[in-house]
């Protein structure tokens, strides 16, 4: 379990954490309410004799007992989107409303984009941005399968996204991905402090630009799927220091177990407001690892 | 590149909604109200459906959903467009049993008696739209894009009959 030892002091039940990290992830999916509803989808799954278990904390998520969920006809129909449970948290905290202007700054491959489109009921504008040429094809394909008609795809470097104003922005930043180790174990071996610090520069630039682009009173959600404080609290607290008039709101979700953000790390104090961020560890919800912060612009 | 130059160069040209809705009404009997909050644009030989009457002032790779192709003799709706709007169709709809649906999503053609006109049809399974098919001389030809097809070893394993709608 390379690179995890450094979290012994901050993760409660550290042994259970390490154990959970070694176990495979449950297969989970989200109901696409642009094309179906909960009753209709669950009825189809029952008739197809697919065993499933709705999440306790989110009515549109469920786990299912299928080896290849991508081969279900419900997936081809766009009634479900195969998506890791914990990654459904950040669009819920973003809480977009139908008709708003929303930016998903690092959108590929589009799991959270299509979840946002579904919460927006296909109305308003959702800009799905991603600079990576090789990832835009999967982003577009997922948006089409979801039936999202309110999405435009752009390919800017998020740090230089053109001036425009948004009600809400999701910055689901590129990260070292330690929280996805249950899906791809090799991420742990690739982690180094140098990589975290390299990404930190990019993450700070992306989040700072997002605070420029959001309207007064608007919401910016910052999320990563890594445990490294260098890429989480150290990014959020830096932006709060740089940008006046931005503050944190509670990012927790009822029924989903998480831990508060770190107030300090490695001798550096981030500030007491960091407890409004949420860290999710794999053993808490038998899911992936995740970090979410909710920033509000005055 | 300035924003205004991007806007002027937008390859998406606005289309009259009534014209596109009219095509869907004449072929599938879909009431034009189904498209009330949709704007249509044309780029090349494709029609796109989008939520807003104006394209944002950004360099857009794509705008909404690819809705139909106007390349052929008659317009061909995309599978994803029918998955969204095909539920409002009142004619030229073919509902398949689970066995037949399995063949359809694998991309196989099949002989099938159906009360439809030759041409593009909405194909459903238990009342839910799978996608676009082409009905020709008693044969149903799958129009599911190759990359979305599910092979015969797939998990399309529903029992036949029943209905969730």
DSSP one-letter string for A106-170: T-TT-HHHHHHHHHTTT-SEEEEE---HHHHHHHHHHHHHHT-SSEEEE---GGGPPS--EEEEE
User: What's phi and psi for A253, nearest 5 deg?
Assistant: -125, 130
Q: Which two tokens stand for residue B67?
A: 């809705």
Give the domains, in start order, of chain A with CATH numbers.
5-25+85-297 (3.40.50.150), 27-83 (3.30.70.1170)
C-alpha distance from B4 to closest chain A C-alpha (Å): 12
If you average pLDDT over residues B30-54, what whole number do you get?
Answer: 97
Measured CA to CA, the distance from residue A125 to residue B63 in angstroms comes to 10
What is the reported pLDDT for B10?
77
pLDDT tens digits for range A221-232? 999 999 999 999
ipTM above 0.95 for this complex = no
What is the reported pLDDT for B159?
40
The confidence band for B7, taking pLDDT boundaries of 50, 70 and 90, is very low
Q: Collect all residues of chain B within an 8 Å Cβ-Cβ radius of residue A67.
A: 155
Q: Collect all residues of chain A within an 8 Å Cβ-Cβ radius of residue B103.
A: none
Q: Which two tokens stand for residue B148?
A: 């979305």
Which pTM value belongs to this model? 0.95
What is the reported pLDDT for B152?
57
Check CB contact under 8 Å for B64 and A123: no
The confidence band for B160, taking pLDDT boundaries of 50, 70 and 90, is very low
C-alpha distance from B26 to closest chain A C-alpha (Å): 23
If you average pLDDT over residues B75-92, what whole number do you get?
Answer: 98
In the block, residue with structure tokens 């090799």: A186
Q: Is the pLDDT of residue B163 over 80?
A: no
Which residues does A38 contact at the CB level (< 8 Å), separation at least 6? A31, A59, A60
Measured CA to CA, the distance from residue B110 to residue B91 in angstroms comes to 20
Which CA distances in Å does B143 have to B25, B80, B93? 20, 11, 14
Query: Taking a C-beta distance cutoff of 8 angstroms, is the pair B77, B132 a contact?
Result: yes
Share of chain B above pLDDT 70, in %: 86
Say which of A72, A78, A140 has its CB closest to residue B83: A78
Which CA distances in Å does A181 have to A121, A135, A155, A190? 33, 20, 28, 11
- B92-148 adopts what CATH topology? 2.30.130
Q: Is the pLDDT of residue B151 over 50?
A: yes
Share of chain A above pLDDT 70, in %: 100
DSSP output for A23-81: SPPPPEEEE-TTT--HHHHHHHHHHTT--EEE-SS-TTEEEE--S-GGGSHHHHTTSEE
C-alpha distance from A169 to closest chain B C-alpha (Å): 16
For residue A130, how many other CB atoms are within 10 A of its CB?
Answer: 25
Range(s) of chain B covered by CATH 2.30.130.60: 92-148
Q: If we measure between CA atoms, which residue out of A99, A106, A124, A104 comes closest to residue A115?
A: A104
C-alpha distance from B159 to closest chain A C-alpha (Å): 6
Burial A245-255 (b: 16+ CB within 10 A, else e): ebebeebbbee
* Degrees, nearest 5: CA angle B40-B45-B48: 25
Regarding beta strands A214-224 and A290-297, do their DSSP bridges make them parallel or antiparallel, or are they unpaired? antiparallel
- Which of the residues of A are catalytic? 225
| CB-based contact, A76 to chain B, within 8 Å | yes
Rg of chain A, C-alpha, whole Å: 18
pLDDT tens digits for range A98-136? 999 999 999 999 999 999 999 999 999 999 999 998 999
* Degrees, nearest 5: CA angle A205-A294-A298: 85
Q: Collect all residues of chain B within an 8 Å Cβ-Cβ radius of residue A48.
A: 157-159
What is the reported pLDDT for A201?
98
What is the reported pLDDT for B124?
98
Range(s) of chain B covered by CATH 3.10.450.720: 3-86
| CB-based contact, A208 to chain B, within 8 Å | no
Regarding beta strands B39-43 and B13-15, do their DSSP bridges make them parallel or antiparallel, or are they unpaired? antiparallel
If you average pLDDT over residues B94-109, what whole number do you get?
Answer: 97
Q: Is the pLDDT of residue B162 over 90?
A: no
| CB-based contact, B156 to chain A, within 8 Å | yes
Which residues does A232 contact at the CB level (< 8 Å), separation at least 6? A224, A226, A261, A262, A277, A279, A291, A293
Largest distance between two CA atoms of chain A: 57
Averaged confidence pLDDT in chain B: 90
* Residue of A65, A72, A76 to mutate, testing the B interface (most B Cβ within 10 Å of its Cβ): A76
Q: Which residue has the higher pLDDT, B1 or B162?
A: B162
DSSP output for B139-160: EEEE---GGG---TTSS--PPS
Q: Collect all residues of chain B within an 8 Å Cβ-Cβ radius of residue A49.
A: 157-159
Q: If we measure between CA atoms, which residue out of B75, B59, B60 comes closest to residue B26?
A: B75
What is the reported pLDDT for A3?
83
Q: Which two tokens stand for residue B33?
A: 């109200």
Say which of B64, B130, B144 has its CB closest to residue A151: B64
Please provide the CATH number assigned to the domain covering B3-86: 3.10.450.720
Q: Is the pLDDT of residue A137 over 70?
A: yes
Bond prior to A125 in cis (omega within 30° of 0)? no
For residue A100, how many other CB atoms are within 10 A of its CB?
Answer: 19
| CB-based contact, B157 to chain A, within 8 Å | yes
- With CA atoms as reference, the chain B residue closest to A130 would be B61
If you average pLDDT over residues B132-141, what whole number do you get?
Answer: 98
pLDDT tens digits for range A211-254? 999 999 999 999 999 999 999 999 999 999 999 999 999 999 99
Check CB contact under 8 Å for B61 and A140: yes
Q: Is the pLDDT of residue B70 over 50?
A: yes
Measured CA to CA, the distance from residue A151 to residue A113 in angstroms comes to 8
């Amino acid at each position: 379990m390379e690179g995890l030892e450094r979290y012994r002091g901050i993760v409660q039940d550290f042994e259970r954490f390490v154990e959970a990290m070694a176990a495979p992830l449950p297969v989970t999916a989200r109901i696409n309410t642009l094309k179906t509803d909960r009753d209709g989808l669950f009825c189809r799954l029952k008739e197809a004799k697919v065993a499933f278990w709705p999440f306790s904390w989110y009515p549109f998520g469920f786990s299912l007992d299928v080896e290849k969920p991508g081969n279900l006809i419900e997936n081809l129909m766009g009634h479900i989107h195969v998506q890791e449970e914990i990654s459904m948290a950040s669009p819920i905290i973003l809480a977009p409303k139908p008709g708003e202007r929303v930016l998903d700054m690092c959108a590929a491959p589009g799991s959270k984009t299509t979840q946002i489109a579904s919460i927006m009921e296909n109305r308003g504008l959702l800009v799905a941005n991603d600079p990576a040429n090789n990832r835009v094809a999967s982003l577009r394909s997922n948006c089409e399968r979801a039936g999202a008609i309110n999405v435009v795809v752009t390919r800017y470097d998020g740090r230089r996204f053109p001036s425009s104003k948004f009600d809400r922005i999701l910055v689901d930043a590129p990260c070292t991905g330690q929280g996805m180790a249950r899906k791809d174990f090799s991420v742990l071996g690739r982690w180094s402090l140098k990589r975290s610090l390299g990404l930190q520069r990019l993450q700070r630039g992306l989040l700072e630009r997002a605070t420029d682009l959001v309207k007064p009173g608007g919401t910016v959600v910052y999320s990563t799927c890594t445990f490294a404080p260098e890429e989480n609290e150290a990014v959020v607290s830096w932006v709060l220091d740089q940008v006046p008039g931005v503050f944190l709101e509670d990012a927790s979700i009822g029924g989903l177990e998480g831990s508060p953000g770190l107030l300090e790390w490695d001798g550096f104090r981030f500030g007491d407001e960091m407890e409004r961020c949420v860290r999710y560890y794999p053993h808490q919800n038998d899911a992936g690892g995740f970090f979410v912060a909710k920033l509000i612009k005055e | 590149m300035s924003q205004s130059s991007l806007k002027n160069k937008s390859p998406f040209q606005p289309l009259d909604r009534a014209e596109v809705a009219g095509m869907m009404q004449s072929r599938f009997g879909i009431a034009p109200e189904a498209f009330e909050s949709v704007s249509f644009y044309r780029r090349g030989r494709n029609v796109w459906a989008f939520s807003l009457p104006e394209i944002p002032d950004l360099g857009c790779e794509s705008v909404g959903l690819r809705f139909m192709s106007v390349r052929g003799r008659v317009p061909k709706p995309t599978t994803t467009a029918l998955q969204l709007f095909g539920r409002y169709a009142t004619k030229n709809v073919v509902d398949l049993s689970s066995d037949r649906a399995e063949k359809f999503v694998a991309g196989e053609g099949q002989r099938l008696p159906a009360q439809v006109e030759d041409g593009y049809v909405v194909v459903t399974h238990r009342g839910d739209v799978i996608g676009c098919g082409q009905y020709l001389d008693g044969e149903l030809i799958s129009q599911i894009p190759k990359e979305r097809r599910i092979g015969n070893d797939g998990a399309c394993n529903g029992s036949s009959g029943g209905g969730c709608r």
